[in-house]
A and B are shown apart, each in its own frame.
Chain A
């Protein structure tokens, strides 16, 4: 990399075009995630959370699948421990993303390492969508743009969407409207990227079968924790 007097060379016209494309894709993704957040807000309230609780969860947990999972167990009458367990297991993938993302995001455009404070802030945004947007960029500069624009755009729409959805949910008769079907539909919609490999399909099938088979015999919500045995299909390459 050749350094000019201001650190890295100024972006070329081609890079500027690429940059606009990345920003536009990140903002579009944010809008889509905002709509998902609407359904989270609705579902959380129908599961028994208050509007305020749904919003605090979205702000501080900020990882959709875990939030849906926790509220699904709460709605089913499960214990806080069972609700926590499943949600925490789903959050483990953000740890894995963090390992891969650190090298891409921990330096600025001049190659300097970000301060600890900024890295701690960035960590909050290491989730599915930011990882997908960041790791598919062709240059480090574009990767950083993708990360921060996606992070900001998602954080705004996720929290705003949760608020609006939760407010709407608190005004509606959620049982009569079939809201209990919102949870399984949401999980189903999140599933396809994980079914691309044979191991993924076997893990999913095992998880579903184990969960239903165990449900009558264990406390509410505990079956999904045992269902995680499906991951053992990853033991062999």
Chain B
């Protein structure tokens, strides 16, 4: 991505993120959404975060690839399961991935 596209992305995302916050908090505040909509919107992070884990573990551009990252994420999974702090999860994933790369 070019530098200017990246700046556009940053600007648009910042405006959108703030717009969503302000729309809920300042304009629509206190109202309730239909329960179906509320449940579905509540599931966005589950679906997207899991998709992002899968994408960043198993794909490179448009290819499905199994490589050292899988080992790193597996170790991170154990760390998450043991309720390790965020930075520990990230660090052990990086170290495990780098180690597998160094050995392979």
Contacts and interface: CB of A to CB of B under 8 A. Distances in A.
Interface string B48-76: 11111111111111111000110011001
Contact of A178 (B50, B60, B68, B77): B68
Contacts, number: 341
B52 A187 contact: yes
B16 to A, nearest CB: 5
A233 B43 CA distance: 8
Interface of A is mostly: helix
B13 A61 contact: yes
A16 interface: no
Interface residues of A, number: 106
A20 B19 CA distance: 33
Interface stretch (A2-10, A152-160, A215-223): A215-223
B93 A185 contact: yes
Residue among B5, B31, B35, B54 with most chain A CB within 10 A: B54
A227 B48 contact: yes
B34 to A, nearest CB: 11
Nearest to B57: A184
B45 A61 contact: no
Nearest to B39: A234
Residue among B29, B46, B60, B79 with most chain A CB within 10 A: B46
Contacts of B104: none
Interface in B1-21: 1, 3, 5-10, 12-14, 16-18, 20-21
A210 B30 CA distance: 35
Contacts of A119: 25-26
Contacts of A122: 25
A61 B25 contact: no
B27 to A, nearest CB: 9
B84 to A, nearest CB: 8
Contact of A93 (B41, B55, B89, B97): B41
Given A87-B13, A102-B29, A93 B21 contact: no
Given A99-B32, A101-B25, A181-B72, A206 B47 contact: yes
Residue among B10, B24, B50, B64 with most chain A CB within 10 A: B50
B103 interface: no
B101 A178 contact: yes
A74 interface: yes
Contact of B94 (A87, A182, A212, A217): A182
Q: Which 4 A-B pairs have the closest CB atoms?
A: A102-B29, A98-B24, A230-B47, A98-B25
Interface of A: 32, 35-36, 38-39, 48-50, 53, 56-57, 60-63, 65-66, 68-70, 72, 74, 76-80, 83-84, 86-99, 101-103, 105-106, 116, 119-120, 122-124, 126-127, 176-192, 194-195, 199-201, 203-212, 215-220, 223-224, 227-235, 237
12 contacts: A60-B18, A62-B17, A66-B13, A76-B60, A80-B5, A87-B17, A96-B41, A99-B25, A119-B26, A120-B26, A207-B48, A208-B54
